[in-house]
Amino acid sequence: MTEIKEDQKTHREKRKEYTYNKLKGLGQEIIENIEKQKVPSIRVPSRGTGNIVYDDAKRYYVLGDRYGRRSLGNVKQIRKLGQMVYVANFCKDLVAREKTATIREMYYVSEGWGISFKTQQESNIVGEDLEVTLGTTREDLGLMPEEDGASVYGDITLLDDGVEINAAKTGKSGYTISPTIDQVEFLDCGVERVIAVETMGMFHRMVQENAHKRFNTLIVGLKGQAARATRRFIKRVNEEIGLPVYICNDGDPWGFHIAQVIISGSAKLAHVNHDLATPDAKFMGVTASDIINYDLPTDKLKDVDVMRLKELSKDPRYKSDFWQTEIKKMLKIGKKAEQQSFSKYGLEYVVDTYFPQKLEELEN
């Protein structure tokens, strides 16, 4: 782990230097244009659906090569360009002082700029535009979401803001994954894998049943759709420590999607999927086959579920034989099931029986 720790420090320092220089360079480019009596403009890659491409080699969505320009010579773009410059300057100060601000705080700070946003959604979009323009992440810019990530429980020791924390010794709720997870160092790790579960109910069941010891695993509770910090944590432990990742979600199209966003990224965040996606992660269940094989309690698929399954079947992230088979099978049986449905056989069944069988299937 010593080499990993040194690599983490070097990587973090390089990211900070890169981000600061990109922010500074953006301002210098505008100043140089003015000095040369040119109309200042900023090249902004397009985030439209026509410029979002699934990369088969990388196994996640990326941005294509289309871009536009925001120019002070265009009356309709003056306000948007001004907002972008103010946000960039705000972020440059955050990076220089090693500070962070929530995207909500930035929205209120902007009230004093004289070029305020109409809504927070508008300011969020400008922040995302800055991400993609500079080729960096919102977190590197010092901007954080309001919510923390999810929780992790198991034998991993982290250095968070100068404090050593072992995620198996922080109480039953585990270690809360911070939005600043890239500033956290991994000091030591005594597990062989990661099992991520969609619901916190399943997370707590696994903790109660000592699943972290029984499977020598980190348990990650996703809290539904995984926050960026959670996806980044999973990506880091997979890439930096070499832990295989398994994802167990509800057996419905929404659970499938939550897992696939972790595996192959999202179209909306195509510009940062290289930092968030974990292409080697494996879906552990609940599948349509599980519903049949384990005779699970089910709910009938709603029209919206059927529509979503049909959409997934056409999505390039689901083109493998595994996903195509499971989607067709779920449509055929017309049923869906939650993780907690295994409780039909007792509270301990999911840890005593289901997880061991699934791990044996996936690892052999």
Q: What is the mean pLDDT, run by run of 10 residues, along the chain of 364 residues?
A: 68 88 95 94 92 95 93 91 95 95 94 88 94 94 84 96 94 91 94 97 96 98 94 97 97 97 94 96 97 97 98 96 98 97 96 97 90
Token pair 């289309």: residue: 66
Position 51 scores a pLDDT of 95
Say if residues 252 and 260 touch (Cβ distance below 8 Å): no
Strand 163-166 and strand 175-176: the pairing is unpaired
Helix H or strand E encompassing 21: helix 2-35
Say if residues 43 and 250 touch (Cβ distance below 8 Å): no
Say if residues 70 and 84 touch (Cβ distance below 8 Å): yes
Position 26 scores a pLDDT of 95
Q: What is the DSSP string of 216-260?
A: TEEEEE--SSPPHHHHHHHHHIIIII---EEEE--BSHHHHHHHH
Position 2 scores a pLDDT of 63
Direct distance between the N- and C-terminal alpha carbons of the chain, in angstroms, rounded to an integer: 27
**In the annotation, is 108 catalytic?**
yes
Position 10 scores a pLDDT of 74
Q: Which of 18, 54, 67, 108 is catalytic?
A: 108
Structure tokens given for 19: 């981000």
- 178 DSSP 8-state letter: P
Position 3 scores a pLDDT of 65
Position 61 scores a pLDDT of 94
Nearest in space to 103 (alpha carbons), one of 81, 85, 121, 130: 121
